[in-house]
Amino acid sequence: MLKDPEDRTFRLGVIGAGAMGQGIVQVALQGGVSVILFDAREGGAESGRAGVFARLERLVEKGKFAGDDLSKAEDNFTAAGQLSDFADCDAIVEAVFEDLEVKQNLFAELEDIVSDDCILASNTSSILIASIARACRNRGRIAGLHFFNPVPLMRLVEVIKGPETRDDVIKALCKLGERLGRTPVVAKDAPGFLVNHGGRAYTTESMRLLHEKVATPAEIDAIMRDCCGFRMGPCELMDLTGVDVNYPVSRIIYEGYDDDPRLKTSFPHLALLSAGNFGRKTGTGNFTYDEKGQRTDTASGDFTTESLPAAKLVLPDPDAALADLVKGLGIATIVDDDGESPILVALIGEDCSTYAARTGTDHCRFVGIDMLCATKRITLMQSPGADRAALEQVAAALLAAGHQVTAIEDSPGFVAQRMCAMVANLGCEMAQIGLATPEEIDLAMRLGLGYPHGPLELAEKLGAKKIVQILEKIQDITGEDRYRPSLWLRRRAQLGLPVHTPGRAA
């Protein structure tokens, strides 16, 4: 019978004293759990102990951890000299490097040491639990317990249920996660689990935008921060995690899902990897950095102009939000083209070229504006061959009114619409294939990646029908199945149902 993780005598083993292993040890000790740490390197466990307690002592100095609790943590910690020291553990989490054979051999060795009631969990971020459990006799007690780096700061832990993992093991690991101060989310055993899978859209669509020369990294990041509320833009986030980490993960997940084009990355991603420009750790990535990881380049997402604001604007399509914006700018508007004023249209999913060809609009004076994701920052674009003066006159009016402006190349769905649609669509596809409940998917993305909204919440916020419209128009314009809407999203949009509506009646 499994021991209750809330039992004061519960004993946790951690294998691997690197950054992840140390983080797991730290939160376990902060949760009052007795921990034993092993590392195959000579002196590795003691070195890991030093790192953990140095951080705990700093927390005591800051008043965030009691001195008495530090003494208890010291009593609760043991450095193991060999794996046989884990014989009395109630659960073990391995946090060694990502090598399937190493993990299989480790788990097979542990099975000869621990009791049948000891849970064996892997902190893997990319290897299927089924693959690890395949080499074990008692597969029902094998599961994933995937923490995020830095563990003490990241509140989420993914509890991964393998094909043969018992329900009582999953329940116990959820309770253990809660005792360690984390928020557990149960996920299906699949490439990338929840967070690494769900995070692909934010990364890969930014790479596609760079590939198409739609915008610069600074412009993409500014739009996603200011217009969509993300704490970091995709390019700076990629530099933070490291291209040497996120590119291989992108490939693993793409190949794991049979080369689904919705998960495919683009050449700029590979180019960074091939050049060794991994981001902050190398000083160069999408941006440049100093030794402390601070940006040194001056790239900006802001468009500036010396032009005078437009005297009049042609608004050929009825759009209340756009009309209110222009009214606030103090600019006269006309519906019928006067042959000289800039033509301003709020596009949803289309690019300027397609709209102009479809409607017969003069593409030279035509300016597209993204009103779906308009905030203090507003995105403008034009078709090839357009008169730049028309865009500059519109931008000048917006800048004079206190807006920030980003001007991009012609793109179906601008930047924000494309990015948000892809994030929302991937979240809906994760719900469709049952990786977790819609609510758990949203929770995982908010806690694991710091998204302002979970992907299904984002679809609800912008409107499921609008997201489908954006995706279908981009798919039609580009001819790519990359933009095909998830059936989960399409069906709920068709029926007017909330995006979180479950797949079958309870």
Q: Catalytic residue numbers?
A: 125, 146, 158, 196
User: 77-79 and 119-122 as β-strands: parallel, antiparallel, unpaired?
Assistant: unpaired
Q: Residue 193, class by beta-carbon neighbours within 10 Å (0-12 exposed, 13-18 middle, 19+ buried)? A: buried
HEC string of 2-63 equals: CCCCCCCCCEEEEECCCHHHHHHHHHHHHCCCEEEEECCCCCHHHHHHHHHHHHHHHHHHCC
**What are the backbone angles phi and psi of residue 352, rounded to the nearest 5°?**
-65, -40
Cα gap 212→216, rounded to integer Å: 10
Which residue, 489, 426, 439, is CA-closest to 463?
489
Say which residues have a Cβ less than 8 Å from residue 325's Cβ, sequence separation at least 6: 371, 374
E strands, 247-376, are 312-314, 332-334, 343-346, 366-369
Q: What are the distances in angstroms from CA 411 to CA 352, 378, 457?
A: 8, 15, 25
Which H or E run includes 405? Answer: strand 404-408
